Amino acid sequence: MNFASVAGQLRQAIQQPLPGPEVRARLSPGGRPRQDPPSHKRPREAAVLALVENRGETPYLLFIERPPYDGVHGGQIAFPGGKVEPADLHIAHTALRETEEEIGVVPSQIELLGALTELYIPPSDFQVYPFLGLAGQPLDLRRQEREVAQIHRIPLHLLQDQAAFCHTTVASPKGARQVPAYQVQGITIWGATAMILCELLALLPAQPSGPS
């Protein structure tokens, strides 16, 4: 599947009703389709961008690896993004601003397709708004060293391969736990990022599993 066909399918699919929490339940560490924030308080808000890049007509999905730190998301694989700031014009502006800050991609390089389904992350008390974008040309990425330990470019077809899905043990603030995840090119994608990824992949035709 080349970039042009993926881009066309995503442009159409994002305009239709989204798969939402039911699809993402497969990748939920707790196995629940949806978790709402507590009724007695308003969670913090954040936005992230799932950006599909065209490299030689092959679609790649961009991820960042957070540096290790004393927090619930330290060392994890994530999409570029961060918390909403008072100066942000809207939630999508947050996703674009954070993407430029963290990996050096300016908004003019991005075709913003729309929003995926928002989700609540209980461990960090964030309501996260994911957005989907396309970059039609290869990008010259620039890592923000304080917030990004490494940038990962993953061919989309590897993530679509059913062989990428697994259950594995990860470290969390509550200790080691068994979680559903994607494992590809030496990285493990789990938690909220895997749930967002699962919904994105559901917008595309399924791919056959690779050799076992």
Kindly state whether residue 95 falls inside one of the protein's structural domains.
yes
Kindly state whether residue 208 falls inside one of the protein's structural domains.
no
- pLDDT tens digits for range 63-82: 999 997 665 556 899 999 99
Per the document, the length of the chain is: 212
Say which CATH number the domain at 133 has. 3.90.79.10
Binning pLDDT at 50, 70 and 90, where does residue 32 land? low
Q: Are 152 and 61 in contact (CB under 8 A)?
A: no
Q: Work out the average pLDDT over 193-205.
A: 96
Kindly state whether residue 45 falls inside one of the protein's structural domains.
yes
Binning pLDDT at 50, 70 and 90, where does residue 88 land? very high
Kindly state whether residue 209 falls inside one of the protein's structural domains.
no
Is 90 exceeded by the pLDDT of residue 14?
yes
Kindly state whether residue 210 falls inside one of the protein's structural domains.
no
What are the start-end ranges of the E strands in 106-164?
A: 111-115, 119-121, 126-135, 150-155
Q: Write phi, then psi, for 46 (nearest 5 degrees).
A: -145, 160
189: tokens are 């994608």
Q: In terms of C-beta density within 10 A (0-12 exposed, 13-18 middle, 19 or more buried), how is residue 110 classed? A: buried
Closest by CA to 1, choosing from 185, 210, 205, is: 205
Is 90 exceeded by the pLDDT of residue 183?
yes
What confidence score (pLDDT) does residue 38 get? 72
Q: Which residues of 6-24 are buried (b: 16+ CB within 10 A; e: fewer)?
A: bbeebeebbeeebbbbebb
Kindly state whether residue 207 falls inside one of the protein's structural domains.
no
Percent of the chain residues past pLDDT 90, beyond the cut? 75
Taking the C-alpha atoms of residue 174 and residue 191, their distance in angstroms, rounded to an integer, is 14
The one-letter amino acid code at 83 reads K
What does pTM read for this prediction?
0.92
What total number of domains does the chain contain? 1
Give the structural domain span for 70: 3-202
Q: What is the pLDDT of the chain when averaged over all its residues?
A: 91
Kindly state whether residue 137 falls inside one of the protein's structural domains.
yes
Kindly state whether residue 27 falls inside one of the protein's structural domains.
yes
What confidence score (pLDDT) does residue 72 get? 57
Binning pLDDT at 50, 70 and 90, where does residue 211 land? very low
Closest by CA to 65, choosing from 142, 179, 152, is: 152
Taking the C-alpha atoms of residue 17 and residue 24, their distance in angstroms, rounded to an integer, is 14
The one-letter amino acid code at 147 reads E
